[in-house]
Amino acid sequence: MQQTWHRFILQSALAVGLVLGAGGARATEPLCPPDPPLAAVALPHLSAALEAGQSATIVALGSSSTEGVMASGPEAAYPAELADALQAALPGRRITVLNRGIGGEDVGHESARLDRSVFAHRPQVVIWQVGANAALHRADPTRFRHLLTAGIRRMQAGGIDVVLMDNQRSPRLLASPEDGVFDRLLAEVARETGASLFSRDRLMRGWARQGNPPAEFIAADSLHHNDRGYACVARALAGRILEAIGVPVPPSVELLESQERD
């Protein structure tokens, strides 16, 4: 397990290093900074499926940050990176990550397609990235809350673990006065429904405190992640998923992080 994960980390680091080098950054720059403390996620349905030796499905539901806009290809979007990370850490277990992100959508569109994008695949987990377009277009927070809560409760009633993902710290979103409104709303709805929250905002704030500003993880459009951003979000999310199912984060990752701190 350790060797497989270590190869994945090294291959990803080399690939990102080449991209960064082409852009004028240091070619030896680590792939990802250490993650700050993040809230745990609860995944009882995923844990039960894996303990029973069953295959498992994770649906990544969302908009362009899920689809992978500004990534170098579909394989560099966060769902594909997450699938690689989980498969490397859990050899012999079949975990499928489905990318069901559609650029430009928000909670209304995504709620309307739950049947075909989520329930049709019988997933144990849905990671719902939502709120960026609401912030950019100044959506009605009350309607947003209602639709989000209803969608979460419907999925939970269907035996699905729900993880909400809040907004990235990008210049265009930070310029919107509504960005903080919807991030706070997501946190409130998570507490009210019992859904988990994976906070990109908190993740990127932690990276910035370590000397890795958001610009290092944001593409030229000042909104979406670049390849490094998608990869590092996926790595952090994979770590929370492994913790939730009782699998230690692979030692090679811990070693990489300790070396980055030195």
Summarize pLDDT for 54-78 with one digit per residue, the tens: 999 999 999 999 999 999 999 999 9
- Give the mean pLDDT of the chain: 87
* pLDDT value for 52: 95
Mean pLDDT across 131-145? 96
* pLDDT value for 248: 81
Mean pLDDT across 199-209? 97
Structure tokens at 96: 């499928």
* pLDDT value for 2: 36
DSSP 25: S
* pLDDT value for 31: 85
* pLDDT value for 84: 96
Closest to 108 (Cα-Cα) out of 63, 153, 68, 174: 63
Structure tokens at 103: 């650029």
* pLDDT value for 22: 31
pLDDT at 207 over 70: yes
CA distance 240 to 38: 8
- 3-class DSSP state for residue 61? strand
Residue 240: how many other CB atoms lie within 10 Å: 18
CA distance 97 to 82: 7
Residue 235: how many other CB atoms lie within 10 Å: 23
pLDDT band at residue 21, thresholds of 50, 70 and 90? Answer: very low
pLDDT at 184 over 90: yes
Beta bridge pairs of residue 202: none
Per-residue pLDDT tens over the stretch 233-262: 999 999 999 999 999 876 544 433 433 433
Q: Which fold has domain 39-249?
A: Rossmann fold (3.40.50)
* Angle (CA) 204 206 210, round 5°: 110
Q: What is the CA radius of gyration of the chain?
A: 17
Q: How much is the pTM?
A: 0.85
- Runs of H (alpha helix) within the chain: 2-22, 44-51, 64-67, 78-89, 107-112, 114-117, 132-136, 141-157, 171-174, 179-193, 200-209, 227-244, 251-261
Mean pLDDT across 141-162? 98
* pLDDT value for 258: 37
The b-or-e profile of 243-258 (16+ CB within 10 A means b, else e) is ebbebebbebbeebbe
